[in-house]
Amino acid sequence: MKKIKDIVNEKPYMAWVLFGVTVIVVFLAGLFGASIIERRGEAQDRLTALKPINEWEPRNEVWGESFPREYESYIKTLDTSFASKYGGSAKVDMLEREPNLVVLWAGYAFSRDYNQGRGHYYAIKDIRNTLRTDVPQPATCWTCKSTDVPRLMNQMGVANYYKQKWSDLGGEVVNAIGCQDCHDPKTMNLHITRPALAEAYSRMGKDITKATHQEMRSLVCAQCHVEYYFKGKEEKYLTFPWDGGMTVDDMEKYYDGVEHVDFVHSLSKTPILKAQHPDFEVFKMGIHAQRGVSCADCHMPYKSDGGVKFTDHHIQSPLNNISGSCQVCHRESEETLRENVYERQDKIKELLLAAEHAIVKAHVETKTALDAGAKAEDLKEIHKLIRHAQWRWDYIAASHGAPFHAPLESARVLSSSIQKAHEAQIQLAILLTKLGIKYPISLPDLSTKEKAQAYIGLDMKKLNEAKTEWLKTVPAEWDKKAEARQATY
């Protein structure tokens, strides 16, 4: 092969050609570099607020003045028009859809009222409206509802904030979930505002400040979309039960270890664990998480507007935007992808219903045994089986999106739930026979929400009347109090 030196020696003009080519290459590289710097500058400009945003600013509309695209897409979470087969933003009365839930939660406020989750902008409205907040609740309940929470925690101290009564902070917590929850107002970087997540990480020996950018695109959601409990009778300290690991079995062991009980079932007297919404934990067991896909990849895809690429803040069911959410990575048609989701959801639903049915039966049979004089001693093992069966069923039922996020894990957890409920039933059959009761016993008519609520002894008319009265006066007072304060930010 000839060397450049030899070529130049043979044809001296080649030196000038080489020189020219080099000049052009350097010039183009320079242009390219300048354009990158300019683009970065543009992106940086877009990330600098027009007016500095107050460190604890809770009002989304104030952030929206500087970031109109993100704000305008975010307030679309007010849209309730989309319903998929199992999810979506429409208001769905889950107790009406599945009256068995009323019996499973007998003795707990969820048996009064439980709607499917809707968009973030409804968080305050929905927690005010639910019959569940008629029961005295701690301020901890506000934690995943509002941008006012980081401000209050800073003002009052975290432990002190949790200790307040829910109703005492009504005039303080008025801005729905928003910018402050996920963004640092100075840099617009993603940040963690809920201490419970950082504390759970540190108890697992992990430092959340070391999380990668892609991890943060899921961790901002994991501030709220997780399993948790209120630790301590007085403290009500928000705690994630992850010390021994994040699987359903690890958390069950944790809760048994600290003898945590969310409520005692009013029919069977079982000490029940109510699962919250372990969306993040179940998601982590699925293939997308294992391939490094984040919550934001599907629920907050990129969008383009007038040549500007930005993150769609209309957080919702990805089935309402399959092209933006899935087709970035998958080549299949929208129909195929939707069918892929429905197929997984349909199959998990079958298992979910089988688990529900078996656990409801176990509760009713235990009640029959108690009425016939069964002793606490006779029921020890049965109570434990029902507790674990219901925890495992609820873990999947309450984890929105689980049947798609991690279908295999959902099936594993539900099959262990069914197995435990059936084991309880076998022991109940023996016990009932000993007590002289003919097995199987027949279930009451639980075909509607009303019938189920009457069966567990709820006076819904009275509860609804009291709530209507409360809604007429208290929320307006809270809003008035908040308005006067917000003018002072």
Q: What is the nearest approach in angstroms of ligand HEC to the Cβ of residue 394?
A: 16
**In the window 313-332, what residues touch ligand HEC (CB under 6 A)?**
313, 315-319, 325-326, 328-330
Which of the ranges 30-38, 204-212, 399-407, 435-443 carries the binding residues for ligand HEC, by CB under 6 A?
Answer: 399-407
Q: What is the nearest approach in angstroms of ligand HEC to the Cβ of residue 445?
A: 30
Q: What is the nearest approach in angstroms of ligand HEC to the Cβ of residue 468?
A: 20
Query: Residue length, the chain?
Result: 489
| CA atoms within 13 A of residue 164's CA, in its CB half-sphere | 21
Question: If binding is defined by CB under 6 A, does position 398 make contact with ligand HEC?
Answer: no
Question: If binding is defined by CB under 6 A, does position 217 make contact with ligand HEC?
Answer: yes
* Binding residue for ligand HEC, selected from 53, 153, 220, 382, defined by CB under 6 A: 220
Dig out the tokens for 144 from the structure: 């995943």
Dig out the tokens for 194 from the structure: 């809920």
- For ligand HEC, give the closer residue by CB, 3 or 291: 291
Which of the ranges 7-15, 289-297, 444-452, 461-469 carries the binding residues for ligand HEC, by CB under 6 A?
Answer: 289-297
Find out whether 310 and 70 touch, Cβ atoms under 8 Å.
yes
The span from the CA of 447 to the CA of 453, in Å, is 11
Which of the ranges 12-20, 369-377, 397-405, 423-431 carries the binding residues for ligand HEC, by CB under 6 A?
Answer: 397-405
**In the window 340-379, what residues touch ligand HEC (CB under 6 A)?**
340-341
**In the window 78-97, what residues touch ligand HEC (CB under 6 A)?**
84, 86-89
Question: If binding is defined by CB under 6 A, does position 59 make contact with ligand HEC?
Answer: no
Q: What is the nearest approach in angstroms of ligand HEC to the Cβ of residue 433?
A: 43
Nearest-CA neighbor of 246 among 217, 222, 271, 216?
A: 222
Residues that bind ligand HEC (rule: CB under 6 A) add up to a total of: 71
For residue 7, give every residue at least 6 positions away whose Cβ sits within 8 Å of its Cβ, in sequence order, or none.
14
Q: Cα dihedral sign for 391, 181, 482, 169?
A: positive
Find out whether 138 and 187 touch, Cβ atoms under 8 Å.
no
The span from the CA of 111 to the CA of 135, in Å, is 12
Q: What is the nearest approach in angstroms of ligand HEC to the Cβ of residue 147?
A: 8
Q: What is the nearest approach in angstroms of ligand HEC to the Cβ of residue 485?
A: 20
What's the Cα-to-Cα distance from 336 to each of 109, 301, 332, 381, rounded to whole Å? Answer: 40, 20, 6, 46
Q: What is the nearest approach in angstroms of ligand HEC to the Cβ of residue 167?
A: 18
- For ligand HEC, give the closer residue by CB, 60 or 247: 60
| CA 336-339-341 angle, 5° bins | 115
Question: If binding is defined by CB under 6 A, does position 298 make contact with ligand HEC?
Answer: yes
Find out whether 263 and 391 touch, Cβ atoms under 8 Å.
no
- For ligand HEC, give the closer residue by CB, 319 or 431: 319
Question: If binding is defined by CB under 6 A, does position 382 make contact with ligand HEC?
Answer: no
Which of the ranges 61-69, 240-248, 263-271, 372-380 carries the binding residues for ligand HEC, by CB under 6 A?
Answer: 61-69
Q: What are phi and psi of 10, to 5 degrees?
A: -70, -45
- For ligand HEC, give the closer residue by CB, 119 or 171: 119
The span from the CA of 265 to the CA of 391, in Å, is 13
Find out whether 409 and 282 touch, Cβ atoms under 8 Å.
yes
Which of the ranges 17-25, 182-190, 257-265, 366-374 carries the binding residues for ligand HEC, by CB under 6 A?
Answer: 182-190
* Binding residue for ligand HEC, selected from 74, 114, 201, 240, defined by CB under 6 A: 74
- For ligand HEC, give the closer residue by CB, 122 or 240: 122
Question: If binding is defined by CB under 6 A, does position 144 make contact with ligand HEC?
Answer: yes
The span from the CA of 416 to the CA of 249, in Å, is 10
* Binding residue for ligand HEC, selected from 63, 114, 161, 254, defined by CB under 6 A: 63
Taking residue 83's Cβ as centre, other Cβ atoms within 10 Å add up to: 16
Question: If binding is defined by CB under 6 A, does position 464 make contact with ligand HEC?
Answer: no
For residue 289, give every residue at least 6 positions away whose Cβ sits within 8 Å of its Cβ, in sequence order, or none.
218, 283, 405, 406
